């Protein structure tokens, strides 16, 4: 498993943001540091899965020294984010959505450096995780 460097940023009155120097444009956020770390793992995995689907090459992880040599990165706190994609197999499916919802999904995904599939998977996983935490999950066929 490879680890990539994520940079945590926190402005007053904001969530903890995470960016990835090796993947410009990929950002996520969490309400606290633990949530930011979890979201960083998800965002990285979904982005890389999208790259693999598109046939793009995955970069080798940059060293901490290289990342921190860039003055633009010095205001962030570096964390190692494991890339967890090896065990997931992508399955193609056909779904039906209202056209306006699909436009919103595509706009949000593009603005956040995600593919449509990555955004939908991330949104579904977030809902499943929230239901698990709240004890409201029905059905045992799904696994988080």
Digit-coded pLDDT (tens) for 54-95? 778 888 999 999 999 999 999 999 999 999 865 455 677 889
Integer Cα distance of 69 and 95 in angstroms: 45
* pLDDT for the residue 15: 93
Domains of the chain, CATH where assigned: 3-134 (3.30.160.250)
Q: What is the pTM of this model?
A: 0.59
Residues lower than pLDDT 70 in the chain: 85-90, 136-144
């Amino acid at each position: 498993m490879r680890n990539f460097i994520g940079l945590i940023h926190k402005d007053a009155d904001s969530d903890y943001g995470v960016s990835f120097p090796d993947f410009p444009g990929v950002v996520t956020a969490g309400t606290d540091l633990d949530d930011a770390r979890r979201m960083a793992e998800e965002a990285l995995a979904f982005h890389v899965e999208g790259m693999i689907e598109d046939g793009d090459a995955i970069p080798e992880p940059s060293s901490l020294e290289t990342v921190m040599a860039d003055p633009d990165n010095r205001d962030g706190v570096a964390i190692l984010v494991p890339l967890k994609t090896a065990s997931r197999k992508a399955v193609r499916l056909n779904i039906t959505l209202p056209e306006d919802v699909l436009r919103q999904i595509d706009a949000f995904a593009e603005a956040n450096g995600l593919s449509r599939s990555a955004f939908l998977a991330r949104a579904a996983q977030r809902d499943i995780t929230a239901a698990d935490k709240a004890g409201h999950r029905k059905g045992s066929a799904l696994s988080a």
